[in-house]
Structures are given as structure tokens and as C-alpha cells.
Amino acid sequence: MQYTDWYGYKRLDFQFEDREALIVFPNEPGWGSGKWACKMEYFGAFPALECDLLKNGFHLAYLKNINRWGVDEDHHARARFAAFLAKEYGLEEKFIPVGMSCGGLHSVNFASRYPDLVSVLYLDAPVMNLLSCPMGFGVGNALGENGSGWQEIVDAYGFTISDLLTYREHPIDRIPTLIEHRIPVALVYGDSDPVVPYIENGKVLEDAYTAAGLPLFCVGKPGCAHHPHGLEDTTELLAFFRKYC
């Protein structure tokens, strides 16, 4: 096995079912011992939270997706990946999906398919409505130049415009499953995001969880656009994880 350094932690890259995969190990045990988080997309981007989790004894993992649009084949593979990590490294099967942007789409879709494998959902400027992002049918900007965002959806789902307009499995449509299984949610967003407008995406989840009285950690960042992701101070967020993870 060949380990590499990742922000001062040991990283191991390997193949899992012909997909690129990796695991990063904590240096010391902590309250997160036996627990782990999975970066659902864009591994290595805005890694401050993942480093904080590693510092507290969590493991960190990643499994490469077919695409960034949350198709079921990726979710089924990730469920098998969770079972593999539990058997190979003694980790809990439940984990924290770290879902930034399109990773939020993966996170919610995965949780709706495998709620028993999710301890807490972390969603940061999450894509929850394909009509909003990438299409830009509402107040936001369409993703990509010359319709490239739409082409990604066509490639991922095989949609026509009519298919997308009548589609009823966006992440916002899967919120009732999250509520049924009482999955705690941490939600971070920028209130000036033109790419994934909060009012068309995460706000739907915030309102539903507030009405249901379920565990919700929600922080809006004034004046923040889609980037940067994350919080400067993760103290309260980590306390939420510690309470519910």
C-alpha cells in the first residue's frame, strides 16, 4: 500500500468496483472514532470541514461518481462502498455525506435511497432542483455556456425538456423521505448565490424541516455567492454533528 499526504493526514487511493476511491485516516482518535464522512463530489475542494472532522477522529472517504447529477447507479455503488469500509476498516456503516453544490444533490438522493446509512446530512449550497440549476428557469443563472448544463442533464438522465418539466424526483421531491426517517440536516448557504439560488433549493428543505420540528442547523452567509463553500468557524456545526452523529 502506498500512502500519500493529504493536509497532514495519511491518504490511501485504491480501486473499488473499477471506480477511483480513497480513504484518509485521522492521526489520533477522538469523539469521531469509528465514524466517517464521505465527500460526495468535488473531493479536495474547500476542505476545511473535512480537516476538522479528521482532527476529531473521523475518517474521510470518496468514491468517484459517474457524473455529478446524482444518478441511482452512483448511490447503489456508494452503499456497497459503505459496507466495504465497515468490513475492511471497522467503520460504522452510517456516515456523514458532505454535499457541496452538486454534491448536495448526490447527498439528498442517496439519503432518500439509503436513509439507514446516513447519520447527518451536511449540505452546502446544495443543488435540489434541476429546473433551478442547471437550467436557470427561475431567478438564477443557467449553468454552463451555450447550454452545456442542459447537455449534462441530457447525458445523465436522457431527458427531453418535457421530461424535465414533469420530473418528480428532484431532491426537493425527496424531502418527505428525509422527514419520515428523521435525518438531521446541517444546511449552509450564501444568500446571494446566483448559481444555486437558495430560495429555489435549500430553502424548501429548511421550511419543511422547520415545520416538522426536526433537527436542523442552518446558517446563511450574508453577501456570499456560490463560492466559497464552508464556514470560517465550524464550532457550532461540529457540536451539531457530535449531538446527532
pLDDT at position 145 over 70: no
Work out whether the CA dihedral 100, 236, 83, 2 comes out positive or negative. positive
* Strand duo 3-6 + 9-16: pairing: antiparallel
- Is the pLDDT at 121 greater than 80? The verdict is yes
Amino acid at 21: A
Give the pLDDT confidence score for residue 142 in this predicted structure. Answer: 86
pLDDT of residue 174: 98
Determine the average pLDDT of the residues in 12-24: 97
Q: What is the DSSP string of 196-234?
A: S-GGGTHHHHHHHHHHHT--EEEEEETT--S-S-S-S--
What does residue 235 show for φ and ψ, rounded to 5 degrees? -55, -50
What CA–CA distance (Å, rounded) separates 210 from 192? 22
* CA nearest neighbour of 103 among 1, 188, 28: 188
What order do you get walking across the sheet with 36-39 strand by strand? 3-6, 9-16, 19-25, 59-63, 36-39, 96-100, 121-124, 185-190, 216-221
Q: Burial letters for 30-39: b for 16+ Cβ neighbours within 10 Å, e otherwise? A: eebeebbbbb
* Per-residue pLDDT, 147: 62
- The residue behind cell 442542459 is 150
| DSSP structure class, residue 185 | E
Percent of the chain residues topping a pLDDT of 70:
98
Phi then psi for residue 167, to 5 deg, are -65, 135
Average pLDDT, the chain: 96
Alpha-carbon span 35 to 54, nearest angstrom: 10
pLDDT the model gives residue 85 = 98
**Domains located in the chain, CATH noted:** 3-129+172-244 (3.40.50.1820)
Q: pTM value? A: 0.96
Range with lowest mean pLDDT among 67-81, 146-160, 175-189: 146-160
| C-alpha span between 66 and 54 (Å, rounded) | 26
Q: What's the pLDDT score for residue 74?
A: 97
Per-residue model confidence as pLDDT tens digits over 188-241: 999 999 999 999 999 999 999 999 999 999 999 999 999 999 999 999 999 999
C-alpha distance from residue 49 to each of 4, 140, 185 (Å): 20, 27, 15
Asked whether residue 28 carries a pLDDT value surpassing 80, the answer given is yes
Share of the chain above pLDDT 90, in %: 91
* DSSP labels, 9-64: EEEEEEEETTEEEEEEE-SS--TTTT-EEEE-SSTTSS-HHHHHHHHTT-EEEEE-
**CA dihedral for 239, 240, 241, 245, sign (positive or negative):** positive
At 124, the pLDDT band (50, 70, 90 cuts) reads: very high
